[in-house]
């Protein structure tokens, strides 16, 4: 558990790496699967009410509805491949405190607000994360497996004396998240080869000199159709517009309104169950950043760092989790895209820390 995190805070909104076992699991087997994810604004909780005891229900739902080809599409539903053994990190590279714990630490209380030295460390980790992401994007082509992308990302991170933050976060077995087509987030790299026309989000976080840099982007694989390209383009625009309104004193809820308003223009859905978060010496900290319209309180402060990471869908925003307890896909198999940056609140607005 991260320093300062209380048991109640572990039940808070599901950030981009908080798993089901930290959240309430009190559902009936007869409850419709989309309702297993529930956000309660009054209590600032998301109950992703899905546990290992319900893995059979998830499997039943997935096998019966997700194996078939998608209607009016040549694309087949995403299926899990074989996951290779966990990659090793040299012993001399410092690890985040949570490594080797099977329980993710959750969202730590208190914002990540930095002094001059902390800001420079955040710039360094953010720059490395951006460089790794840029390199990973050049690998995207038909025929490459997501496991091969993970291997390349892992090697580049450790070659730079950093630790791949996802590796060992709870039970996450890989160094990067690769989310293909209908995968909303947290896809585990495996033996599946990318196909012509796929889109893939690559989510990179590095831990360098005691600070995390967190970023992601969605890439085209080969010849991508116009529908997918438009979704990716608008998702990137949502992130850019959200960053542009950030500054000291601005209410966090304006981020959600900005993203939601732009997505609505194109009739795209905005995923609600996964959120941005404070980031710095702790992987996930306050504040919780909602990407949809909301009335949550809180304002940005100078020298604060956090992520904005909207996830948009062409169809349903209801998420379904695979039996690996990480991979989250759209209920109807519709495409999803995501972009993410770590930003620093400056006197004049916001600085993107995760850029080359």
CA-to-CA distance for 48 and 14, rounded, in angstroms? Answer: 8
CATH of the domain at 204: 3.90.230.10
- pLDDT of 314 > 50? The answer is yes
110 contacts 286 by C-beta, under 8 angstroms: yes
What's the whole-model pTM score? Answer: 0.85
Over range 307-324, report the average pLDDT. 97
Is 102 within a domain?
Answer: no
291 is in an annotated binding site: no
| Gyration radius of the chain over CA positions | 19
Domain count, the chain: 1
In a domain, 70, yes or no: no
Q: Is 212 annotated as a binding residue?
A: no
Question: Is 262 among the annotated ligand-binding positions?
Answer: no
The b-or-e profile of 152-167 (16+ CB within 10 A means b, else e) is bbbebbbeeebbbbbb
Instruction: Determine if residue 114 is labeled as part of a ligand binding site.
Output: no
Omega into 180 within 30° of 0, i.e. cis?
no
Question: Would the annotation count 214 as a binding residue?
Answer: yes
Q: Residue 87 has what pLDDT?
A: 98
Residue 34 lies in a domain: no
Position with higher pLDDT, 60 vs 183 = 183
Instruction: Give the pLDDT confidence score for residue 75 in this predicted structure.
Output: 87
Would you say residue 310 lies in a domain?
Answer: yes
Q: Is residue 293 situated within a structural domain?
A: yes
Query: 213-265 pLDDT, tens per residue?
Result: 999 999 999 999 999 999 999 999 999 999 999 999 999 999 999 999 999 99
Choose the weakest-confidence range: 82-91, 95-104, 114-123.
95-104
Using CA atoms, how far apart are residues 203 and 194, in angstroms rounded to an integer?
Answer: 16
Task: Report pLDDT digits (tens) over 318-341.
Answer: 999 999 999 999 999 999 999 999
Q: Which domain holds residue 155?
A: 116-352
d(CA 296, CA 44): 9
- For tokens 């383009």, the residue is 233
pLDDT in tens, 268-306: 999 999 999 999 999 999 999 999 999 999 999 999 999
Residue 17 lies in a domain: no
pLDDT in tens, 26-68: 222 222 333 323 334 443 333 333 333 333 444 434 444 445 5
Cα–Cα distances in angstroms (integers) from residue 19 to residues 31, 138, 168, 218, 304, in the given order: 20, 30, 13, 23, 25
What is the average pLDDT score of the chain?
85
Q: What average pLDDT does the segment 186-213 reach?
A: 98
């Amino acid at each position: 558990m991260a320093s300062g995190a209380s048991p109640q805070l572990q039940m808070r909104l599901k950030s981009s790496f908080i798993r089901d076992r930290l959240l309430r699991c009190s559902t009936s087997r007869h409850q419709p699967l989309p309702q297993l994810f529930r956000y309660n604004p009054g209590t600032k909780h998301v109950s992703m009410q899905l546990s290992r005891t319900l893995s059979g229900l998830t499997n039943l739902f997935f096998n019966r509805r997700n194996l078939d080809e998608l209607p009016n599409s040549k694309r087949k539903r995403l299926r899990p491949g074989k996951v290779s053994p966990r990659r090793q990190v040299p012993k001399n590279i410092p690890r985040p405190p949570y490594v080797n714990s099977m329980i993710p630490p959750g969202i730590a209380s208190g914002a990540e607000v930095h002094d001059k030295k902390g800001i420079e460390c955040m710039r360094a980790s953010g720059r490395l994360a951006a460089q790794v992401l840029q390199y990973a994007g050049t690998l995207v082509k038909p025929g490459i497996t997501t496991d091969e992308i993970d291997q390349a990302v892992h090697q580049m991170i450790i070659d730079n004396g950093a630790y791949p933050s996802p590796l060992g976060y709870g039970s996450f077995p890989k160094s990067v998240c690769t989310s293909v087509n209908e995968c909303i987030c947290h896809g585990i790299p495996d033996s599946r080869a990318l196909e012509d026309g796929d889109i893939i989000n690559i989510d990179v976080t590095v831990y360098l000199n005691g600070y995390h840099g967190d970023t992601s982007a969605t890439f085209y694989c080969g010849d991508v159709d116009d529908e997918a390209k438009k979704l990716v383009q608008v998702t990137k625009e949502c992130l850019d517009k959200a960053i542009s309104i950030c500054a000291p004193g601005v209410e966090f809820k304006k981020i959600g309104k900005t993203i939601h308003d732009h997505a609505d223009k194109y009739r795209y859905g905005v995923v609600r169950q996964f959120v941005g978060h404070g980031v710095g010496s702790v992987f996930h900290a306050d504040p919780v950043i909602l990407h949809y319209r909301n009335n949550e309180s809180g304002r940005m402060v100078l020298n604060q760092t956090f992520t904005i990471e909207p996830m948009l869908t062409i169809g349903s925003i209801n998420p379904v989790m695979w039996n690996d307890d990480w991979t989250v896909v759209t209920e109807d198999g519709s495409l999803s895209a995501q972009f993410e940056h770590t930003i620093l609140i400056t006197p004049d607005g916001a600085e993107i820390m995760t850029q080359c």
